[in-house]
Chain A
Amino acid sequence: MRVLALDAQRGLALCAADGDGGSDGAHATVEVALVAPVAPGDALLVHAGVALARLQAAP
């Protein structure tokens, strides 16, 4: 999912889901405590409402 906006105080991010062929329009509030700090535009691996990793481009 891609970060759209942050609520740093509560450790939450509003994220957009990416489906097959692009964004499918779904949005979700995601707990980002395990990968903070994050910034708008970051791509996150989200599982059960919690971000587990920030995707890294290949070196």
Chain B
Amino acid sequence: MRFVDEFRDAELGRAVATEILAAVEPGRHYKLMEVCGGHTHSIYKYGVDDLLPRNVELVHGPGCPVCVIPMGRVDDGIAIAREPGVIFTCFGDMMRVPGSEGSLLEAKAAGADVRMVYSPLDALRIAKANPEREVVFFAIGFETTAPSTALTLKRAHAEGVRNFSCMCNHVTIVPPLRALLDSPDLRLDGFIGPGHVSTVVGARPFQFIPADYGKPVVIAGFEPLDILHAIRMLLAQLAEGRCAVENQYTRVVPWEGNLRALEAMAEVFELRPHFEWRGLGFISQSGLRLSDAYADLDAERRFAVPGVRVADPKACQCGEVLKGVIKPWECKVFGTACTPERPIGTCMVSSEGACAAYYNFGRFQREREAV
């Protein structure tokens, strides 16, 4: 299949791995963060980690959209879902994220009309087919998903669909990266940049990383050769003493991003002053809400929500996992009390979560031998 098979070629993969081995300095430890949960999933699905020298460590960043939703927001969503006459819609993995008193899936089992959709446009179709019901879409995701919500809201606004609204939990990628870079807990050598977010925002927003923090960034695709190639490019920058934003994923990511998507987002959304991230706390100007022009479609203005901040369960160490401070198997409840079937933490819910990737692909402890 074009654009896929050529990026899964085992022989080429081994050749790039050999180049990586030749590029590392003996005795130097490299910590590279893949920002996006899609990368984390691919790394363990395809065994990319096993092709790397032991002194190249991959650290998993906060780019899983489900994993960063705090419990209080889930509780707010459940409160709306329990309102009489409401059809509450969300993406499938969001249904399993635990709130303080259960998940949306459990609310559904208790009688709330919660439905899984693949797109906010599906939620809008449900609203048009059920004009006597209030249909709410629980929007999550980074800049990859926000354009889809923006187009849906523009369409609902233009068509005058009055029984549709959106509870917006969209977040942006740059503020948490800056927070991580400012964190004294973490020493990183470079970043594998998020490919699909960059499709929308382009490469330019990441230039603060080399400019302000002196770290290289390589925006990468999601096939195994993409990731290996990006690591090779990062190591080359480090060996040459350079730091810049480079684009490995040129077949999809234009340097300027998708201007039409950015325009749609600018029309529909505005930045919240603060937004809470699971495990990371409140980060300024990191979350989106509906702009005043779309206030009539804002579920948080249409319905009363508790809006209470709920602390993460004490046993769960998703925060440290999301910051790359610990590996999933270092969490006390990983694979025991917390599994994909009964997750305690969000990182175990989504397939893009680091804990789920480790669990599903058998990474229960450090197994790699020195190369």
Contact = CB atoms under 8 A, between A and B. Distances in A.
A45 B222 CA distance: 12
Contact of B148 (A21, A47, A53, A57): A47
B370 interface: no
Closest 10 CB pairs between A and B?
A: A49-B119, A48-B148, A50-B148, A48-B119, A49-B121, A34-B260, A53-B199, A53-B252, A52-B199, A34-B261
A37 B359 CA distance: 42
A52 B147 contact: yes
B1 A52 contact: no
Given A49-B119, A52-B258, A43 B144 contact: no
B120 A43 contact: no
Contacts of B338: none
Contact of B144 (A22, A47, A59): A47
A27 to B, nearest CB: 13
B251 interface: yes
Contacts of B196: 45, 47, 52
A9 to B, nearest CB: 14
Contacts of B261: 34, 52
Contacts of B200: 52
B4 interface: yes
Interface string A16-59: 00100110000000010111000000010101111011011111
Given A31-B121, A55-B251, A58-B251, A48 B145 contact: yes
Most buried by A among B120, B144, B251, B261: B251
Interface string B1-39: 111100000000000000000000000000000000000
Contacts of A50: 119, 121, 147-148, 151
A53 B258 CA distance: 8
Contacts of B253: 53
Most buried by B among A18, A47, A57: A47
Contacts of A34: 147, 151, 258, 260-261, 264
